[in-house]
Amino acid sequence: MNILLLVKAVPMETEVKMTGDMNIDREQTQLSMNIADESALEAALGLCKNRKGENREEGLVRVLSMGTLKMKPILSDLIARGADNCMLLSDRAFAGADTYATAYTLAGAIPADTDLIFAGRRAMDGETGQVPAEIAARLGWELITNVLSVAHEEGGGLIVRRMLDSGEETLILREKAVLSFCEYSYHLRLPSIRGRRNAMKTEVQVLDAAALTMKAEDIGMKGSLTKVISSTMFETGKRKGKRTGDAAEAAEDLKSLLKKGGDER
């Protein structure tokens, strides 16, 4: 079972710097791994490796990401945590890609022997949740969203538990698929000493547009179907009215406010 993990680096700062064309300036912003992607990685490691990082069975846990070279330390850290290798798609031609162009670019780098693709269900900086679905559509694979847990099934497949609006459901998966995981569904393991040593001697593979034989009009801003026109930061207003530590008094104040239609805050 070869599992490919899709990883995105997201900004850490509360005030994100933007470029002139209304994209996040990732060169000038401190980056960290997307929270939901951590769950996806731990799920993959749990299926294929033990806590020492040794394989449970034949198979690989590989990582694929797209971004600037600032991501190399983040990806090296994932090798220290148990990933077998990492590929980074990095080229100025990829910059400004929307989810459509991003999915196209990532799909072009997926190894042919991949059995499953794991990803976070959404990225903290975009919240669209579109890339896993778009990649599944491009590959013609099944898509399972909002995954809470995965486990081996006796028939050779996976038992997949996912979240629904009205509860949960459990599925048996026995074919190639893209799974997107809920944030905090798994707690990512810490790097081991053996893992850190392995990361020091395992180079992150960097691929550009030429290596993927992709045309300029299909990637980055040129290949995007959507473009950001403007961006606005909204702030919550300060509440008005008196403070009180008495629950009964606070309830009466709230009751009065609701009767007035909530005009006074």
Q: What are 255's two structure tokens?
A: 């009751």
Residues 211, 253 within the same domain: no
Shared-domain flag, residues 23 and 103: yes
> Do 187 and 101 reside in the same domain of the chain?
yes
Q: What is the CATH number of the domain that holds 192?
A: 3.40.50.620
- Does residue 68 lie in a domain region? yes
State whether 192 and 81 are in the same domain. yes
Please check whether residues 155 and 245 belong to one and the same domain. Answer: no
Number of domains, the chain: 2
Residues 127 and 196 in one domain: yes
For residue 258, what are the domain limits? 240-265
Instruction: Please indicate, yes or no, if residue 226 is contained in any of the structural domains.
Output: no
Reported as a single tens digit per residue, the pLDDT across 99-131 is 999 999 999 999 999 999 999 999 877 778 899
Domain identity same for 164 and 244: no
Q: pLDDT class for 10, splitting at 50, 70, 90?
A: confident
The pLDDT of residue 12:
67
Judged on CB neighbours under 10 Å (0-12, 13-18, 19+), 90 is buried
Cα 251 to Cα 176, 239, 259, 261, distances in angstroms: 55, 16, 12, 15
pLDDT of residue 265: 46
20 lies in some domain:
yes
